[in-house]
Amino acid sequence: AVSLPFAVGQCGNQVGCRFWDLALREHAAVNKKGIYDEALSSFFRNVDTRSGDNGSDIYKGKICSLKARALLIDMEEGVVNEILQGPLRDVFDSKQLITDVSGSGNNWAVGHKIYGCQYRENIVEKLRKTAEHCDCLQCFFIIHSMGGGTGSGLGTFVLNLLEEEFPEVHRFVTSVYPSGEDDVITSPYNSVLAMKELNEHADCVLPIENESLFEIVNKIHQMVNSGKLGSTVKQNSLVTSSAGSAKALQEKPFDAMNNIVANLLLNLTSSARFEGSLNMDLNEISMNLVPFPRLHYLVSSLTPLYTLADVNVPSRRLDQMFSDAFSRDHQLIQADPKHSLYLACALLVRGNVQVSDLRRNIERLKPSLHFVSWNQEGWKTGLCSVPPVGHSHSLLALANNTCVKPTFIELKDRFMKLYKKKAHLHHYLQIDGMEQSCFSEAISSLSDLIEEYNELDATKDGPRIEPSRLKIAV
Amino acid sequence: MSIVTVQLGQCGNQIGHEVFSALCSDLRGTHGLCSKKENESYQESCQERFFCQEESGVPAARAVLVDMEPKVISQTLSMAARSGHWKYSSHSHFCQKQGSGNNWANGYSVHGPRHKEAIMNLVQKEAEKCDRLGGFLTIMSMAGGTGSGLGAFVTQCLRDAFPTSFILNHVVWPYGTGEVIVQNYNSVLTLSHLYHSSDAILVHENDVIHKICAQLMNIKQISFRDVNQVIAHQLGSVFQPTHTAAGGSGYSRNPLGDLMEPLVPHPEFRMLGLRNIPQMPESSLPYSTFSWPGLIKHLRQILIAHAHMEEGIDWQVRPPHPGSSIPSTNKPLHFNTSIANLVILRGKDVHSVDLGSFQDPSLYTSWLNPQDAFSAWKTPRAFNKYEKSASLVSNSQFLLKPLDSIVGKAWNMFASKAYLHQYTKFGIQEEDFLDCFTTLEQVISSYTNL
């Protein structure tokens, strides 16, 4: 089953680039014989390039030329051109790219209304072509940021398109939310306008905040450079590195952060690609983690962030991995799930971890977590046998938790600060198809969402009333 | 008579593989502890029941493998082939690519009708390979989407296509603390539907088997494979050839019928629990000896006291005084009332075993004569390296509490309407849920009032 990623905008494509690189490394590490297998087919086509670039797909046998199943969309050429000149150039072909030159000027309306309209047919055509090459399309991933113009505006336009063209295919969105100190002044407008689209058209959203990624990167650097106890960090195991030797000076500032997001996506899809004793497909994630259609925002955490070189993993360290997944500083947004209310939680474990390890840790951690009254045992678990490169095991936790609320509240506050003064509004309203109502509807949608989380939070410490069972006449 | 096994979903296929593996390994073992003639007769009977001889000489399991995603079936087929001693037929599996998403409605309403023809064709082919079809065994979990939803649909199709055949559903109940968040919904939907089309539901609970792995098998890091192997051993102890009272001197020629007819006298009561003793790590077997009186005593107390294994049995629990008519509401709550029981003994000196304690009328409801409520199968051929092995298949209140717990949790979630949109989009409406809850509350009420 195929997962089709769409990278939209600068951030989306930078993350996307890291993702493809890591995906190739991961499959190379597992697939020793160079045979094109089921696992590879979920992200890559196998193309016979001997007769030129328009070769047909080969479904079995040796790997000839791997092409990523993806669409790369950007209204500026810079990032996409760099990808096409870099080591991944053979993994993409021109039919997968949609670019323009002038960018969206950090304006959601330019991305959504102008470019959306202009490129609609082009996108649909390329989407259909890409889908044709997949014998079973299971889900779409959109990777973008919320604060700019292209990723935010055109990205959410694509989201709408996907729902129209392929209503049955699940839509997962990985969204990078802007921080308070974001240097794009209009990022709150762009984000809130995009949020309305995510509320209405996404099946699952994984919000990410740069601040969290930044803190994680720092934490790793500290650990690596502290030279604690003489233990060395295993090469290839740094979640932030581009594999091989991490030459920190040569890496661009966002590379390490983008790697984390790329790892998130890899881990999310690992159980769909590789075997395990308890498989967890992507459609199972949205089934189990979305109890009500609009409450589909999932807080993610990844552990471990690196492994030490000693091979022997006592179960104590394994348990530490589970504890870390619930700690504040491993979350990919600024949130603390432990002190808020869980609607549902998923644990996807990779590597040499068995069901007893899972059970032991769930029992251990459960008492310190608050679950909503109708889902007291709301755990979804998956066991995938293949660990990530450089690790013996890893854990991805996805939480549907009211701790996302502060992120949304802050976003709303920043929006209102600008909106009250009507700052920069004319840049948006002058775009064809944009009206004041777009803004009021968007903020209303966000307020409603916040209110739903408020209502849930109100039940948190209240009494548990169990509904009376059906009475049967004896 | 032959049994055709239908393995459904990840759990069904993983367990199915372990079952055939255990049957085959038991067949080939030299631990039979009986005469060569007896052993040969046993092997022949097992072969006919579960395997089909193919030209390659390697016996092929009489099984159909069904899953909505390819990875598990692919693994299962190759593991079997690698054993060198048995395999699955090359064209007896059906799989798709996208899975069922843990959605019962997806398995039942979408995959079921869509793939009915292809799946039933495979079943028909396997059935035709049998000289005499003894019935169907389905293996599935009820927590996910395929085993549960598609499994319920396929069971219905089997019932429609083979109205006079026996159908036994082996269903795995998930760990109480979530493997799947919507497992309780899927369970309620599955059990209520199976109640309408299958003859009996034979249950294994993951929590129980996990405890056996931890406390009896001494496994430190318990994997699903470990759990599945214990389940396979227990199933093997029931389904390997036996001498039944009706069978005369030969092995039973109607294994499913012989099992279900005495155990399911009334259609309202179809839930069967399974217990097997002794259980221990293979390495300990050569150093352990057991006496039949000891084993029978433990097995009986396991039955009476709702125990799961030979450790931690509550010996305080006693059946109510014989002769006094106690209204069911006054019966000690921790005493397990039975409708019918079947004890299967295998190994050394079986014929000398006294099973009178299982015929005690105070163990049973008053509807049947104790002689009819209790059956025993004794087979001198030892099973799976255990010098003596005793199994109990019981139609009693064993599953009452776990069933009640599942229905309670599902109802709690249903009252908040959580996750319902995931089911309604595939055509399972709130009214359908209500019907299922009603069916199961009825079952719970019936078992409670025994």
Instruction: Give the domain range for residue B444.
Output: 401-449
Instruction: Kindly list the distances between the CA atom of residue A451 and the CA atoms of A45, A257, A293, A341, A412, in Å, as whole numbers in the listed order.
Output: 44, 32, 15, 14, 12
The minimal CB distance from B99 to the residues A283, A292, A359 is found for: A283
Instruction: Kindly list the distances between the CA atom of residue A361 and the CA atoms of A317, A318, A349, A364, B18, in Å, as whole numbers in the listed order.
Output: 12, 9, 12, 5, 27
How many angstroms separate the CA atoms of A137 and B126, rounded? 32
pLDDT of residue A49: 76
Residues B240 and B213 in one domain: yes
CA-closest candidate to residue B347, choices B384, B310, B298, B374: B384
Range B38-59 average pLDDT: 91
How many angstroms separate the CA atoms of B50 and A211, rounded? 61
> What would the two tokens of residue A370 be?
């608050």
Residue B165: inside a domain, yes or no? yes
How many angstroms separate the CA atoms of B221 and A6, rounded? 40
DSSP state of A358: H
With a cut of 0.90, is the ipTM above it?
A: yes
Residues B444 and B357 in one domain: no
> What would the two tokens of residue A442 be?
């968007």
CA distance A253 to chain B (A): 38
How many angstroms separate the CA atoms of B365 and B370, rounded? 9
Helix (H) or strand (E) holding B405: helix B400-415
Per-residue pLDDT tens for A100-153? 988 999 999 999 999 999 999 999 999 999 888 888 898 999 999 999 999 999
pLDDT exceeds 80 at position A231: no
pLDDT exceeds 60 at position B325: no
Per-residue pLDDT tens for A8-19? 999 999 999 999
pLDDT exceeds 50 at position A94: yes
CATH of domain A407-459: 1.10.287
The minimal CB distance from A472 to the residues B180, B220, B442 is found for: B442
How many angstroms separate the CA atoms of A90 and A101, rounded? 23
A-chain CB neighbours of B98 within 8 Å are 1, 136, 138, 281, 283
Helix (H) or strand (E) holding B378: strand B374-379
Range B346-357 average pLDDT: 92
CA-closest candidate to residue A363, choices A300, A319, A331: A319
Residue A93: pLDDT band with limits 50, 70, 90: confident
| Cβ distance of B422 and A287 shorter than 8 Å | yes
Q: Is B79 on the interface with A (CB under 8 A)?
A: no
Residue B274: inside a domain, yes or no? no
Residue A274: pLDDT band with limits 50, 70, 90: very high
Residue B38: inside a domain, yes or no? yes
- CATH of residue B81's domain is 3.40.50.1440
Strands B388-396 and B338-347: antiparallel
The answer to whether B232 and B224 are in contact (CB under 8 A) is no
CA distance B249 to chain A (A): 43
The full set of domain ranges for chain A reads 2-226+255-406, 407-459
Chain B residue with Cα closest to A277: B224
Side-chain-facing half-sphere of A302: CA atoms under 13 Å: 29
Per-residue pLDDT tens for B85-102? 999 999 999 999 989 999
Average pLDDT along chain A: 89
Residues B182 and B313 in one domain: no
pLDDT of residue A228: 58
pLDDT of residue A472: 80
Residues B407 and B391 in one domain: no
The answer to whether A341 and B192 are in contact (CB under 8 A) is no
Residue A245: pLDDT band with limits 50, 70, 90: very low
CA-closest candidate to residue B17, choices B104, B88, B70: B88
CA distance B36 to chain A (A): 39
| Cβ distance of A375 and B181 shorter than 8 Å | yes
Residue A251: pLDDT band with limits 50, 70, 90: low
- CATH of residue B287's domain is 3.30.1330.20
Residues B368 and B414 in one domain: no
Q: Which amino acid is at B178?
A: G
B-chain CB neighbours of A281 within 8 Å are 69, 98-99, 101
Residue B92: inside a domain, yes or no? yes
Pick from A373, A375, A401, A471 the residue to mutate for testing the B interface (most B CBs within 10 Å).
A375
Q: Which amino acid is at B381?
A: R
| Cβ distance of A291 and B418 shorter than 8 Å | yes
pLDDT of residue A241: 67
Residues B52 and B178 in one domain: yes
The single residue listed with the structure tokens 């009915």 is B116
Q: Choose the weakest-confidence range: A39-43, A159-163, B31-35, B205-209.
A: B31-35
Residues B138 and B261 in one domain: yes
How many angstroms separate the CA atoms of A226 and A228, rounded? 5
How many angstroms separate the CA atoms of B312 and B323, rounded? 30
Label each residue of B70-129 as H, E or C.
HHHHHHHHHHHHHHCCCEECCCCEEECCCCCCCCHHHHHHHHHHHHHHHHHHHHHHHHHH
3 state SS of A129 = helix
The answer to whether B136 and B167 are in contact (CB under 8 A) is yes
pLDDT exceeds 80 at position A37: yes
Residues B111 and B232 in one domain: yes
Residue B84: inside a domain, yes or no? yes
Range A23-45 average pLDDT: 89
pLDDT exceeds 70 at position A244: no
Instruction: Kindly list the distances between the CA atom of residue B129 and the CA atoms of A192, A281, B62, B123, B240, in Å, as whole numbers in the listed order.
Output: 64, 35, 9, 10, 20
Residue A229: pLDDT band with limits 50, 70, 90: very low
pLDDT exceeds 70 at position A248: no
How many angstroms separate the CA atoms of A368 and A339, rounded? 9
The side-by-side arrangement of strands in the sheet containing B87-88 is: B51-52, B60-61, B87-88
pLDDT of residue B35: 86
pLDDT exceeds 70 at position A261: yes
A-chain CB neighbours of B329 within 8 Å are none
Range A281-304 average pLDDT: 95
pLDDT exceeds 50 at position A247: no
pLDDT exceeds 70 at position B376: yes
pLDDT exceeds 70 at position B331: no
Out of B248, B269, B290, a domain closes at: B269
Residues B252 and B291 in one domain: no
Per-residue pLDDT tens for A397-439? 999 999 999 999 999 999 999 999 999 999 999 999 999 999 9
CA distance A344 to chain B (A): 8
A-chain CB neighbours of B219 within 8 Å are 356
If one counts the domains in chain B, the total is 3
Q: Is B225 on the interface with A (CB under 8 A)?
A: yes
How many angstroms separate the CA atoms of B274 and B311, rounded? 16
The minimal CB distance from B178 to the residues A379, A466, A474 is found for: A379
Helix (H) or strand (E) holding A81: helix A78-85
| Cβ distance of A356 and B10 shorter than 8 Å | no
Range B183-191 average pLDDT: 98
Burial class for B304, CB neighbours closer than 10 Å (0-12, 13-18, 19+):
buried
Residue B275: inside a domain, yes or no? no
Q: Choose the weakest-confidence range: A103-112, A159-168, B53-62.
A: B53-62
Residues B372 and B421 in one domain: no
Higher-confidence residue of B438 and A470: namely B438
Question: pTM for this one?
Answer: 0.94
Chain A residue with Cα closest to B438: A470
N-to-C CA span, chain B: 35
pLDDT of residue A310: 52
> What would the two tokens of residue B42 be?
């046993």
A-chain CB neighbours of B14 within 8 Å are 277
- For domain A2-226+255-406, the CATH class is alpha beta
N-to-C CA span, chain A: 49
> What would the two tokens of residue A97 be?
């790219």
